[in-house]
Structure 1
Amino acid sequence: MGICSRRSSMEETTKEFNSNGCFILLMSFSIVALWGGVLKSLGVLLPALTDQFTDHVWLTGIAISVMVVSVNIAGLFSTLLKDKFGSRRMLILSTFMVGVGLVLVPLATSIKHIAVILAVVVGPGLGIGVVLSKATLGRSFSKRYSLASGISHTGQVLSLLAFAPMMQLFLDTYGWRGATLLLAGVCFHPAVCAILARENKPQYELPVDQHDQQEPNSTCRVCLGSCFTRALSTVDLRILRQFNFWVVFSCIFGIRFVNTAWFLFYVSHLHSKGFSPQASAAICSASGVGYFFGCVVFAPFVDRGLVKCSTAVIITSLVLSLSLVVDQWSKDTLSVTVLTVLYGLSSSSLFTLSDVLTKELLGRDRLTSAFSWIGFFGILAEFLGGFLPGWIKDTTGSYDMAFVIMGITPAVAVIPLVIGRITKRI
């Protein structure tokens, strides 16, 4: 019996991880690496950009967080663009937008110029790519979705282990302008992964309208009305009335706020503790070790039904809170490195499990609209993550209070999930 069960499990895994499934997984992996790498690289560049253009850390943080806000706004249009042009084409275009936008950044002469470029070009490219890659992965994998989601999120490991020290090396060697140009060259490469992946469903085509033979003006009115109706149907406003949506959003809100703040300000936080720029970059890379194991640690248990996804989310949220709250008492290299690894472990687990929880509570057919709306309402989390820690640093002279607030947030964000479990609504 056990042999038959294992054989069936292997057949399901082989069926889902076929050639096209692997290409889709590679695409999702590269998009995650691109998103994390760009954000972490901008965090490494934050002190240099502050010295170059302004004396206020929070202003530079807002300029970067504006990009994150545009990521979420652009994600809201992903469903419409997918239906009109297809996921594959939009994924290719989005990766090119990121590279082109970063090429334009070194031409900027003020922090306002950088904010506009990041918000208009780089952010929308990342937003469309992130939503469509996650939705495509969710539709392509069923029995092994937790494992596939975990593997895709290991792209963040690449951004943590490679991008932080790489950008520090580029910065020391070529200055911030040269470093940004080299980052742009790296960001063009994920387009190849999107080209290799095939769409499982044919591109959407508008049905032939029954009024095609009418007068031109009448036809235009009918087309406009039809497009508007379809747009409302596609963005799926009804999902906002579901309790499960807000449960998932609350969990993701907590991790996104923390992740944005950590990526942007952790290097500066380590500088304020007395660590050199090289040591700070190396410590950040240590989080990649924890991030790698966190992406896959819960996958075997969740896929086999041994642990409920909601239970795993609660556990990882509390561990993430712990790793940030006790940060203010860590001063030596060893304790800071251990907490950094613990942060990577818990945050990666929470990111992976949140995607799985979204599919479990909202269904695979609503993944694109779910991820889009979660991203749109998550603008506040990204904005606070880019503004609050820098403002607290400028006000108090320390990041300690900021990290306490960051630590409390995941524990508070998981409360709706706990209520749903207690009331048996989940």
Structure 2
Amino acid sequence: MGGPRWNILSPAPGGALSGGSPVTSQMAHRAEPPDGGWGWMVVLSAFFQSALVFGVLRSFGVFFVEFVAAFEEQAARVSWIASIGIAVQQFGSPVGSALSTKFGPRPVVMAGGILAALGMLLASFATSLTHLYLSIGLLSGSGWALTFTPTLACLSRYFSRRRSLATGLALTGVGLSSFAFAPLFQWLLSHYAWRGALLLVSALSLHLVACGALLRPLSLAEDPAVGGPGTQLTSLLHHGPFLRYTVALTLINTGYFIPYVHLVAHLQDLDWDPLPAAFLLSVVAISDLVGRVASGWLGDAVPGPVARLLMLWTTLTGVILALFPVALAPTALVALAVAYGFTSGALTPVAFSVLPELVGTGKIYCGLGLVQMVESIGGLLGAPLSGYLRDVTGNYTASFVVAGAFLLAGSGVLITLPHFFCFSAPTSKPQDLVTETLGTKVPLPSEGLGEE
């Protein structure tokens, strides 16, 4: 009675009981995510995968000075290497999602790991910046696009009640690797120069293949009803709550990264020394790590839609951002940095947990890829807008206030999601799913947040 529930789906049009030929093939589908089991191995895979993608991206700045000196190029041109990689990873996410829907996440992520490693390998032979644009930016970026979204989507299919906690634990890999990789890469540069260091980073990236091998496809009862990638995309583009949620995340993304880009510069405007100012970012990173785990636990423990918790963390983050220009004393700035790190880290796992409640786990691959592609627009525009406001006003006051306003606007959109004020946790069953058992169609429970 406590074991897994299964629906037996019969693809044959007729059955033995209806007078037709016997059922020739049957496929067993788990009725709901197992909330554990092999899912914890998927969490482990996602932990290392997030570290090997975003840990490398966050720490890649240590190569920046080496590239400027080696190719005698302007800093702005060298900066495009990482920017192209990030852009390709974000905009290529729907491709990884579509391929995972058709072939499953395991071969897609393993192929992505090979591309990411190959890009770093070819970069070690670079003779120009164009070579680095193509190898690291395009090739490794394409590999990253095939790894992150499919892995997080696969994790979402394994968990329901513990989804926020599982996601929070998986994403702690980003914070931990950011601490480890920056000094590691610097050590590699000092001992092997930048070409040798890139060869070793290539070997490190190849471990993404092992991460992909841990992903075991999970068949759920709702899968036959959601159709292929094209059908899913069409339905999502007409899904009101999904579109509003995408708008909310885009607004949040616009202001979310401003402290990572301009907090050090803001502190230097206040006459802070560069070293303490940079150390404050480490304080933010530590708080971010704690916030992700705490929020993941709360997301599963607090009843009601996860979107409500996401709105809380987003609102607090927006208020804290707007308060940065007001704080002048070092103690107040450190307190705000700790608070920002915690709340901004806390909103990340629940942001990924809301999506399955909106569209169902059957559409999670396509939905997550589409969300990441659109929300990346906010991430790409936020920093330039903040810099423009600094140039116009002469300080970062308007930059942080506007960044906070974007997050508060995103919170306002989250309130419009269906069942936001309900006091029970929604299910993630799709609204239109029917199962055909021995020729009889049986509707399953409607999707928790439904379509509009």
Q: TM class, shorter-chain normalised?
A: 0.7 to 0.9
CA RMSD of aligned residues (A): 3.7
- Return closer, same or farther for 1:316/1:65 CA change in 2, 3 Å cut-off: same
Q: Given that residues 56 and 394 in structure 1 are in contact (C-alpha distance below 8 angstroms), is that contact kept between their aligned partners in structure 2?
A: no
Provide the secondary structure at the position in 1 that maps to 2:92: helix
Compare 315-324 and 367-376 and name the one that shifted more.
Answer: 315-324
- Return closer, same or farther for 1:29/1:108 CA change in 2, 3 Å cut-off: same
- Correspondence 1:21 to 2:39: yes
Once the two structures are aligned, what percentage of the paired residues are identical?
23
2:408 to 401, 405, 411: 411
Q: Given that residues 98 and 366 in structure 2 are in contact (C-alpha distance below 8 angstroms), is that contact kept between their aligned partners in structure 1?
A: no
Deviation string, structure 1 residues 96-124 (Cα, Å, up to 9, x no partner): 32233233345445554433334321222
Q: How does 1:24-423 map to 2 (within 5 A)?
A: 24-43=42-61, 45=63, 54-55=73-74, 57=76, 61-167=79-185, 180-201=198-219, 232-233=230-231, 235-263=232-260, 279=276, 282-306=279-303, 308-329=305-326, 334-385=331-382, 387-389=384-386, 401-420=398-417
The alpha carbon displacement at 1:84 in A equals 4.4
- Return closer, same or farther for 1:46/1:340 CA change in 2, 3 Å cut-off: farther
Q: Given that residues 66 and 383 in structure 1 are in contact (C-alpha distance below 8 angstroms), is that contact kept between their aligned partners in structure 2?
A: no
Give unpaired runs (5+ residues) of structure 2: 1-32, 221-226, 423-448
Amino acid at match of 1:357: V
Which structure has the higher relative contact order (CA within 8 Å, separation 6+)? 1
- Return closer, same or farther for 1:379/1:302 CA change in 2, 3 Å cut-off: closer
The alpha carbon displacement at 1:415 in A equals 1.9
The alpha carbon displacement at 1:335 in A equals 4.4
Compare 282-291 and 136-145 and name the one that shifted more.
Answer: 282-291
Amino acid at match of 1:157: G
Give unpaired runs (5+ residues) of structure 1: 1-13, 203-228
Partner Cα distance (2:408, 2:73) in 1: 35
Partner Cα distance (1:166, 1:267) in 2: 23
Q: Given that residues 61 and 390 in structure 1 are in contact (C-alpha distance below 8 angstroms), is that contact kept between their aligned partners in structure 2?
A: no
Partner Cα distance (1:103, 1:333) in 2: 44
Partner Cα distance (2:298, 2:48) in 1: 25
Partner Cα distance (2:85, 2:343) in 1: 25
- Return closer, same or farther for 1:128/1:390 CA change in 2, 3 Å cut-off: farther
Q: Given that residues 160 and 284 in structure 1 are in contact (C-alpha distance below 8 angstroms), is that contact kept between their aligned partners in structure 2?
A: no
Q: Given that residues 117 and 140 in structure 2 are in contact (C-alpha distance below 8 angstroms), is that contact kept between their aligned partners in structure 1?
A: yes
Rg bigger for which structure? 2
Higher helix fraction: Structure 1 or Structure 2?
A: 1
The alpha carbon displacement at 1:79 in A equals 3.4
Provide the secondary structure at the position in 2 that maps to 1:37: helix
Deviation string, structure 1 residues 16-37 (Cα, Å, up to 9, x no partner): 332x222111111122222321
Partner Cα distance (1:261, 1:377) in 2: 18
Q: Given that residues 156 and 356 in structure 2 are in contact (C-alpha distance below 8 angstroms), is that contact kept between their aligned partners in structure 1?
A: yes
The alpha carbon displacement at 1:288 in A equals 3.0
The alpha carbon displacement at 1:363 in A equals 1.1
Q: Given that residues 106 and 214 in structure 2 are in contact (C-alpha distance below 8 angstroms), is that contact kept between their aligned partners in structure 1?
A: no
Provide the secondary structure at the position in 2 that maps to 1:77: helix
Partner Cα distance (1:106, 1:312) in 2: 45
Match for residue 215 of structure 1?
none
Provide the secondary structure at the position in 2 that maps to 1:297: helix
Partner Cα distance (1:197, 1:116) in 2: 29
Compare 265-274 and 77-86 and name the one that shifted more.
Answer: 265-274
- Return closer, same or farther for 1:61/1:417 CA change in 2, 3 Å cut-off: farther
- Return closer, same or farther for 1:194/1:332 CA change in 2, 3 Å cut-off: farther
Partner Cα distance (2:202, 2:258) in 1: 23
Partner Cα distance (1:259, 1:337) in 2: 18
Provide the secondary structure at the position in 2 that maps to 1:76: helix
- Return closer, same or farther for 1:113/1:167 CA change in 2, 3 Å cut-off: same
Partner Cα distance (2:236, 2:243) in 1: 9
Partner Cα distance (2:387, 2:196) in 1: 26
Partner Cα distance (1:422, 1:232) in 2: 28
Amino acid at match of 1:321: G
Match for residue 224 of structure 1?
none
What TM-score does the superposition give when structure 2 sets the normalisation length?
0.72
Partner Cα distance (1:77, 1:91) in 2: 12
Amino acid at match of 2:135: I
Q: Given that residues 287 and 338 in structure 2 are in contact (C-alpha distance below 8 angstroms), is that contact kept between their aligned partners in structure 1?
A: yes
